[in-house]
Amino acid sequence: MRIINIMAASLLCLAATGIVSADAWNKKTKVTFSGTVQIPAAHSSAGTVDLPAGTYIFRLDDSQSSRHIVQVTNERGNHVYSTILAIPDYRLNASSKTVMYFSERPAGTPTAIKSWFYPGDNFGHRFVYPKAKAVQIAAETKQPVPSHTMEVVEVAKPEPAEVKIQTPAKEETPYVAQTFEKADATDTAGVEGEAVKAPAPVQTAKLPTTASPIFTIGLLGFLLTAAALMLQRVSAQLK
């Protein structure tokens, strides 16, 4: 009986080790968003996919040819929202929590996810957007955005997809990792934790509203009173 118990415990430990290793391999992470966020679509024609507030799973695809293909699914893992091409990204300090960086967007537009870091890693995955959407995001955020022109992200493709960079000036340049260093140096506040609060869209500046009409009414009343007094005084002098 003791030998059976030891063997059962050993098998349980091996099973647990296998689960931990699997999560470490595919970086499986559960993330809950408080608001709608935007991720690249697998099809270039679609551009992006909007994820409403809720819980999602981010993980690396099982592709042996690329360690930068990210799949986003529902919490149960039985529905794939998008398969995303990514490029390596880096940050100075690792965190024990999930870290996501977002691109600021105009009011009324969902916040776009820029990159994703697995807990404990200082290397992550910067999302590559279809070209047309990358051009739009680069112009809105005044930052370079990586792009691709593939109709479908082919996770089994042995050759990596060609990545270009779309600049805020609407120019396309070859992909060079150093292009992002200047923008990333000022973007140090990633959102940490499994419950991620999506940043609020940037609000456009509005002119201040005019003052309450009560002051105008009061001024008009004062002028009418003054005019009445003057008329009364003139009338008295004429008598």
Residue 47 pLDDT more than 80?
A: yes
Each residue of 64-86: pLDDT tens digit? 656 678 999 999 999 999 999 89
Which residue ranges make up each domain of the chain?
A: 26-196
pLDDT of residue 180: 81
pLDDT in tens, 8-34: 333 333 333 333 344 677 889 999 998
Backbone angles phi, psi at 115, to 5 degrees: -155, 160
Coil, helix or strand at residue 192: strand
pTM strictly above 0.75: no
Q: Could you give the CA distance from residue 72 to residue 51 in angstroms, rounded to a whole number?
A: 10
DSSP state of 239: -
Beta bridge mates, 196: 33
Rounded to whole angstroms, the Cα distance separating 150 from 218 reads 67
